């Protein structure tokens, strides 16, 4: 597969990768006078090198009685012999440097790793990630804990799943299926397609994050490989797991994306609580990466799906607002400013946007919070404001309006109760 990597070179000649494009276009896009001739020369040479490297125009070599493993190894060795000035990265002689970073190696990856390493490698072990199984008398159902979807497995896939989640390696599973086929087929079954089916099935599940390589999987015991394992940072499966409280509701938020965690941190900081029941007993609010964007799931129900990063903070706030009210409460998307120097007094800002709220907070040197519950008459409970100590008395409500052109009516104040302001 051809990959096009866009990068910048800084003043120290250090490359910085911007993005990686799979299967980039090889046609000449620029006009002859705008760099088209140079583009044609570069891309033409690239295509010629790729054709030579892969050996597309060369006769197929190999003995007719070669096994599939031997054919894969021979083709790779021939490619390496034609690599010219290219440096081979994968496959390599130290499988521990790249196999753990794959969701799960395919069978060809595994065969080449075994061959190039020159020694037997332990089979990778798998464990559940975001899927749980439901076993019935006839089949196995997989439940996607992120999206709340069920998948029904056929008989072969059911055996693969159950054996893999019990710790069996891919080739051990394939041996079991091969032995079963010996008793059901007239002739001897071909072992390679069965092995390939098992490895591909497990790799597809790993790609969907149903399974993940077990943290204690090892790919060799050499000193160099051990050092590589020790140097490699162990990234957690879940980047963020915290408890949030919004009004009457508590949820356990789980986020598995570092960019999203950083983006929503200022907002969730105001809902975070340290005193709460056991997290496992709380409703689970998950934000997971999707294609494209992110999907939010509350207790197995999709709240929003495939939203961009820029929309997730607002989507999370809306979800928390919806869960906040208890019986008899009214949730309002308004801001509350604590009155400086006055206990139990607040000003409610009905609208005006974030700029107005920040300006008022800065001018009054006080805390601003968004979202409130309207309970008793003229009292509100801020949802996203730390250390408020419960409800506050609303002494004023600001309702921004267009600035009048008449200087005498530019500033006006009128005392309203919360009920009157709502009307």
pLDDT tens-digit series, residues 66-93: 888 998 888 888 888 888 877 887 787 7
Closest CA to 129 of 229, 233, 202, 198: 202
What DSSP line would sit under 407-420, residue for residue? GGGSS------HHH
The pLDDT-based confidence of 315 (bands split at 50, 70, 90) is very high
Identify the sign of the CA torsion 251, 254, 258, 260: negative
8 A C-beta contact, residue 269 and residue 387: no
Q: What share of the chain is helix, strand, coil (3-state, %, to 5)?
A: 35, 25, 40
Identify the sign of the CA torsion 181, 185, 188, 189: negative
> What are the residues whose beta carbons fall under 8 Å from the beta carbon of 285, sequence distance 6 or more?
244, 251, 252, 253, 254, 296, 297, 298, 299, 319
Arithmetic mean of pLDDT, 320-339: 81
Arithmetic mean of pLDDT, 304-323: 89
Q: Is 162 exposed, middle or buried (0-12, 13-18, 19+ CB in 10 A)?
A: middle
Higher pLDDT residue, 263 or 383?
263
Residues of the chain above pLDDT 90, percent:
20
**Cα(228)–Cα(68) distance, integer angstroms:** 31
Residues of the chain above pLDDT 70, percent:
81
Arithmetic mean of pLDDT, 313-326: 88
Among 100-109, 112-121, 220-229, the range with the most confident prediction by mean pLDDT is: 100-109
Q: Which secondary structure element, helix H or strand E, spans residue 268, and what is its range? A: helix 258-268
Higher pLDDT residue, 415 or 335?
335
* Vertex 235: Cα angle to 103 and 93 (nearest 5): 55
Q: What is the pLDDT of residue 106?
A: 92
Mean pLDDT of the chain: 80
Provide the residue ranges of all domains of the chain, joining segments of one domain with +. Answer: 3-116, 126-230, 240-323, 330-422
8 A C-beta contact, residue 390 and residue 341: no
Q: What is the pLDDT of residue 421?
A: 64
**Cα(250)–Cα(279) distance, integer angstroms:** 9
Arithmetic mean of pLDDT, 372-392: 67
CA distances from 266 to 5, 63, 132, 364 (A): 33, 64, 33, 21
Closest CA to 347 of 334, 357, 338: 338
Q: Which CATH class is domain 126-230?
A: mainly alpha
Lowest mean pLDDT among 17-26, 248-257, 405-414: 405-414
The pLDDT-based confidence of 226 (bands split at 50, 70, 90) is very low
239-292 pLDDT, tens digit per residue, is 678 899 888 889 999 887 788 888 898 888 888 888 888 887 888 888 887 767
Arithmetic mean of pLDDT, 230-239: 44
């Amino acid at each position: 597969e051809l990959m096009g990597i866009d990068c910048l070179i800084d003043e120290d000649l250090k490359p910085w990768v911007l993005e990686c494009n799979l299967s980039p276009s090889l046609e000449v896009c620029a006009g002859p006078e705008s760099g088209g001739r140079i583009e044609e020369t570069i891309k033409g040479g690239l295509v010629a090198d790729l054709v030579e490297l892969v050996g597309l125009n060369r006769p197929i070599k190999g003995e007719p009685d070669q096994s599939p493993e031997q054919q894969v190894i021979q083709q790779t060795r021939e490619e390496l012999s034609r690599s010219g000035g290219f440096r081979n990265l994968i496959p390599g002689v130290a499988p521990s440097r790249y196999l753990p970073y794959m969701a799960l190696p395919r069978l060809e990856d595994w065969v080449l790793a075994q061959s190039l390493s020159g020694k037997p490698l332990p089979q990778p072990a798998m464990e559940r990630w975001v899927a749980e199984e439901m076993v019935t008398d006839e089949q196995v159902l997989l439940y996607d804990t992120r999206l709340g979807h069920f998948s029904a497995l056929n008989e072969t896939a059911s055996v693969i799943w159950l054996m893999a989640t019990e710790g069996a390696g891919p080739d051990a599973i394939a041996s079991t299926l091969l032995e079963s086929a010996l008793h059901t087929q007239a002739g001897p079954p071909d072992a390679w397609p069965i092995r390939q089916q098992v490895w591909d099935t497990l790799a597809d599940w790993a790609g969907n994050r149903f399974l993940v390589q077990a943290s204690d999987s090892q790919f060799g015991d050499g000193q160099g490989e051990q050092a590589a394992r020790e140097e490699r940072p162990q990234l957690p499966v879940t980047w963020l797991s915290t408890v949030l409280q919004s009004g009457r509701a508590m949820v356990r938020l789980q986020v598995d994306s570092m960019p999203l965690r950083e983006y929503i941190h200022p907002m969730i900081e105001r809902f975070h609580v340290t005193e709460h029941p056991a997290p496992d007993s709380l409703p689970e609010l998950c934000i997971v990466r999707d294609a494209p964007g992110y999907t939010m799931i509350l207790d197995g129900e999709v709240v929003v799906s495939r939203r961009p990063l820029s929309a997730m903070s607002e989507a999370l706030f809306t979800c928390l607002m919806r869960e906040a009210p208890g019986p008899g409460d009214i949730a309002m998307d308004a801001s509350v400013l604590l009155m400086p120097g006055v206990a139990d007094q607040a000003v409610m800002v009905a609208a005006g946007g974030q700029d107005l709220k920040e300006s008022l907070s800065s001018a009054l040197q006080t805390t601003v919070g968004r979202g409130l519950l309207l309970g008793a008459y003229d009292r509100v409970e801020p949802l996203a404001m730390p250390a408020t100590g419960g409800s506050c008395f609303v002494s004023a409500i600001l309702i921004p309006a267009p600035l009048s052109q008449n200087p005498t009516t530019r500033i006006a104040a009128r005392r309203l109760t919360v009920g009157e302001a709502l009307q």
